[in-house]
Structure 1
C-alpha cells in the first residue's frame, strides 16, 4: 500500500474547501519542497532556513541503505542479533513505529527508569547499542551510552565494537565517537529537526539494523513525495494540514485513532510531530492518542477533530464528522510532515522550534546539582503519597479527594494530562486510566510516559493554550543503576526530571497533582480502582 488517500466531512471538509485553494494559488507545496524559508513569516525565517532538509530526505538517505545492510550482515555473522536504541523524541519514536509495524524487534530505551534500564541490559552477548542524538548532549541518551559501555566491558565484550552512533556531522558526539573507536558513526542531514527525521539516518539506521527493509520504505516515501510536492487541490498534505489547523472555530483537540491501518504506534509518532511543532505562543493543536473504543471518538465535542488511520478500502466509506486517511507508512509520515508545515502557516507560528522544551531540562539540571531533600507528602493514602499546592489540594487527604480537586480546575474547553514516570513496558496497564478519566470528565485525556513525553507533548503543555490540568505519577523502586562518570543514578535522574517538570508546569500556572506510588503493584491497582470509581 503506497498511495495516499483522504476523506473529510463536516468542519474538516469546510476547512479544506476554505484554505486549500489559497495554498495552491500561492504555490505552498512547491515552495515547501524548494525549501523556501519565507513561508512562515519573517520571525520564523532564520529557523526555517536550517530545518527543511526533510523535504529531500529520500534522496539524501539513499546512500545509507547499503551501509546499513552491510553492517547488519556483519553483526549477524558475529552473533549479534539484538539491538537496543538509546534515543529520545524523534530519535526513538520513528524507529519504534517502523520496526513494530514491520514486526521486527528493537528495544527502544527512551526512559531513565532504572527497572527499564535493567531490562535493556539483558542478553549483552547478542546485543549492540545504537546511540541516536543530534548533538549527543541529551542526558537520557548519554547516560544510556555510559551504562552500556561499562556493562559491555564488565562482561568481557569489546565495547566499541558493539556501539553504533547516529548524530549530526561535526557534532560533539560525532568527534567523540570516532575518537572512542565506535563500530560505526552515521551522520544525518543537519538541516532536519528531530521530529521530522523519520526518513533520515535517525529513523533508518536502527530500523534497518533490526531487520526492516528500509529501501522499500524510501521507495514508498519517494512515491508519496511526487504527489505531495504538487500545487494541486488533491494534495493530501495540503488537505490534512487545512483540516488540522484551519477549522473555524479551531478544533484544537486532534483525536488520533487507528481504525484498521496496518501500523503499530503511528499515532505516538504523530503525537510528537503535532504537539512539539504547534504548541507554542499560547496556541496549537493538541494530539490525543486513543484506542478505537475511547470516549473521545464519539464525544462530538465542538473542539474535537477525530483523525482516523484506516486501510485503503475504508477511507471512502461514508463517515460523520472528521478525517479518514490511508497510505503507506512512509507516505503518511511525509504527508503528516507536510500537513504540520501547513498548520504552522495557518496558526502563524514557527513549526520548527520548541522554545519551552529546554525549561524542563534546565530545572532537572538544577535539581541534580542541588540534590534537595524530597518535599514531604501532603498526605498518604494506602500505597500512594499525595503532593500538590496547598491551594489546589484544599485539604484533600485521599486519592479520590486529590483527583476531585484537580479535575475541579478543568475548564470547559480543557484537557487532562496524565504523566507516568516509570517503566512503560512492565506497567502498560496503567494506560487504562486514560479512558477512565475521559469517561468521567467528558473531556480529552492524554497519557504520556516520562521522561519521553518531555520531548513530545511536553512543549505543548507549557507553550500551548492554558487549558490543561496535570496528573503526575511517579513510583518507588528497590532497583537503581549507577551512571558511570556521573554523580547521580538513574533513579535520581528520573526523580529530578519529574520534580523539574512539575515545577515548570506550576511556574506556568498549570494545576499539578503529584502521586507517588510507594509500591508499584499495589499503587497501580489502587489508582486504577479509584479512577474506575470516580
Structure 2
C-alpha cells in the first residue's frame, strides 16, 4: 500500500504502482495473504475489454437472431451492478431505429412492474435474468413472475429468456432446466460494480444497437494511455487526487456533467460509494446536483467536470470560476463523443481502485452488503414469527406529512432543541428541528421509497437544490426499493 506520499514522491510512486497494477499485484491493496487471495479473484476487469473483444462476434450473432425472431422489447431483470450499466447506456444512447427497446427493471415495487407490463407485448419480449451469484433474490423473484406470465402466451417460454451469470451458479442450472434461449457465462473474476464492460453491460447494449466494439476499443485505448504515460497519466492522477482530496477534508466528489452525460453519474456514484465507503473512510459521490454560486459551496468539495467537447465553452468557464472562488479544486475530462464512454468506464474503475489503495481500504469487497443481507434475513424471520415488522412510533403528522424518528435522531434533536417535545409536536416544527442536525462539512441525502418518475425526480431535485443552498451542504438523491 502507498499512503502518505509527499508531493515530490508522487511521480515515482505512480510509476511504481502502475506497473504493479497492470501485473495485478494484490499487495497494492492489502498485506494480508487471505485478503490478497480474494482480491486476486476480483481483478478481471483490468483486461476485460481485450477479453470481450474476442467475444463480440458471439454477442452480435445472438443479437441478429433475436432481431430476426421479431422481438420488439427487452426487459433486463437485475439489481445493482448487474443492471446499472445497461440502464445508463439506454438513457444516454437510447435504441436505434427498428431495434428492440430496452427496459431495466431493478425494483420490486409492484406499481412499477404492473406499469411496465402494460407497455409490453409479452409474445415479443425477451427477458434477461442478470445475477453474478445466480442467487440474487430480486431478479429471481421478477423472473418467477414473468415466467408465469409468458407461459400463458407461449408454449415455449424458455426461448424468451436468457441468463447472464457466473459459471456453476444456480441460475445456470435454472436456465438449462427451463431451456432458456442462451446463457452468457461471465468471467468469474469480476465484481458486480466493475462489470460494465463484461457481458452484463455489453449484451443489453448490443441489443439496442450500440456499437460495442467501439466502446471496447476505447476502453483498451484508455488502458494503453495509462500504461504508457509518464507523469500525466489521466487515470492514476484521478485516483490519487480523489484520495488526497478526501484525506484533506474535500471528500464530497462532485461530478458535473454535460446534460447528455448526466445518467453516467449514477454509475459513478455506485462505483465510488460501494468501493470506498467502509472502515469509516471513503469518498462521498455527489451527482446530478444543479450548479451553484461559489458562496453556496462548502469547503469540502472536489469537482470533476465531465463534458462533451462541443459544449458551450462559456458555461463551463463560469462553472470553473465559481469553483475556484469557492476554494475547492477540480479536474476536467473532455469527451469527443458518447462512444468515448467505453474509455470512461475503464478510467473510473481503475481510478477508484487506486483511490482505495491510497486510502488503505479494499475497494473490491462489500462488507456492508453482506451485513444488509443478514439484517434483511433477520427482519424476514421477525415478520414470519410476529406477522408484522417492528415500526417506529409516529412522532408527528399533518395532512401532508408523517414523521417517524429513531432513537439517535430523537436524542440529538432533543439535545439541540431544549423544550421541544418530539412526540406529539407539530410536523413542520419537528422537521425544522431535525434539519438543525445538518452542519457544514456534512451531507444530506433524500431517499425516496416510491417509483422513480419524471415528476418525482423533478420534485426531489428541486428540494435538494433548496436544501443545498440553505444549509450549504452537498446533497444526494436515491430511490428504493
- TM-score norm. by structure 2 comes to 0.84
Q: 1:446-497: per-residue Cα shift (whole Å, max 9, x none)?
A: 111113xxxxxxxxxxxxxxxxxxxxxxxxxxxxxxxxxxxxxxxxxxxxxx
Distance 1:20 1:329, change over 3 A: farther
Q: 1:301-326: per-residue Cα shift (whole Å, max 9, x none)?
A: 22111111112467996753311112
In structure 2, which of residues 458, 467, 472 is the aligned counterpart of residue 429 of structure 1?
458
Name the structure, 1 or 2, with higher relative contact order (CA <8 Å, separation 6+): 1
Distance in 2 between the 1:280 and 1:345 partners? 13
SS of 1:322's partner is: strand
In structure 2, which of residues 314, 321, 334 is the aligned counterpart of residue 326 of structure 1?
334
SS of 1:413's partner is: coil
Tell me by how many angstroms 1:298 deviates: 6.3
Q: Is 1:55 aligned to residue 46 of structure 2?
A: yes
Distance 1:425 1:333, change over 3 A: same
Q: Tell me which residue corresponds to 1:510.
A: none
Distance in 1 between the 2:156 and 2:6 partners? 56
The runs of 5 or more residues in structure 2 that have no matched partner are: 96-100, 414-421
Distance in 2 between the 1:70 and 1:45 partners? 38
Tell me by how many angstroms 1:202 deviates: 0.8
Q: Is the 8 A contact 1:258 1:291 kept in 2?
A: no
Q: 1:270-307: per-residue Cα shift (whole Å, max 9, x none)?
A: 00111111000001010011244356x76442211111
Distance 1:271 1:333, change over 3 A: same
Distance 1:369 1:22, change over 3 A: same
Q: Tell me which residue corresponds to 2:98.
A: none
Tell me by how many angstroms 1:264 deviates: 4.3
Q: CA RMSD in A?
A: 2.4
Tell me by how many angstroms 1:425 deviates: 2.8
Distance 1:141 1:190, change over 3 A: same
Distance in 1 between the 2:188 and 2:243 partners? 28
The runs of 5 or more residues in structure 1 that have no matched partner are: 1-14, 452-534
Q: Is 1:356 aligned to residue 391 of structure 2?
A: no
Q: Tell me which residue corresponds to 1:274.
A: 272
Q: Tell me which residue corresponds to 1:310.
A: 307
SS of 1:246's partner is: helix
Distance in 2 between the 1:444 and 1:102 partners? 29
Distance 1:231 1:161, change over 3 A: same
Distance in 2 between the 1:183 and 1:264 partners? 34
In structure 1, which of residues 420, 438, 445 is the aligned counterpart of residue 475 of structure 2?
445
Q: 1:70-111: per-residue Cα shift (whole Å, max 9, x none)?
A: 222222222212111111111111112222222224211111
Q: Is the 8 A contact 2:214 2:342 kept in 1?
A: no
Distance in 2 between the 1:160 and 1:290 partners? 39
Distance 1:125 1:384, change over 3 A: farther
Distance in 1 between the 2:263 and 2:166 partners? 26
In structure 2, which of residues 7, 21, 26 is the aligned counterpart of residue 37 of structure 1?
26
Q: Tell me which residue corresponds to 2:435.
A: 407
Q: Tell me which residue corresponds to 2:77.
A: 86
Q: Tell me which residue corresponds to 1:173.
A: 171
- TM-score norm. by structure 1 comes to 0.76
Bigger Rg, structure 1 or 2: 2
Q: Is the 8 A contact 1:82 1:210 kept in 2?
A: no
Q: Tell me which residue corresponds to 1:284.
A: 282
Distance 1:157 1:421, change over 3 A: farther
Tell me by how many angstroms 1:116 deviates: 0.9
**More moved, 225-234 vs 392-401:** 392-401
Tell me by how many angstroms 1:368 deviates: 2.6
SS of 1:448's partner is: strand
Distance 1:406 1:155, change over 3 A: farther
Distance 1:17 1:109, change over 3 A: farther
Q: Tell me which residue corresponds to 1:196.
A: 194
Q: How does 1:144-223 map to 2 (within 5 A)?
A: 144-156=142-154, 158-223=156-221
**More moved, 179-188 vs 277-286:** 179-188
Q: Is 1:343 aligned to residue 371 of structure 2?
A: no
Q: 1:377-398: per-residue Cα shift (whole Å, max 9, x none)?
A: 3333214322113625623644
Distance 1:264 1:253, change over 3 A: closer
Q: Is the 8 A contact 2:290 2:465 kept in 1?
A: no
Q: Tell me which residue corresponds to 1:229.
A: 227
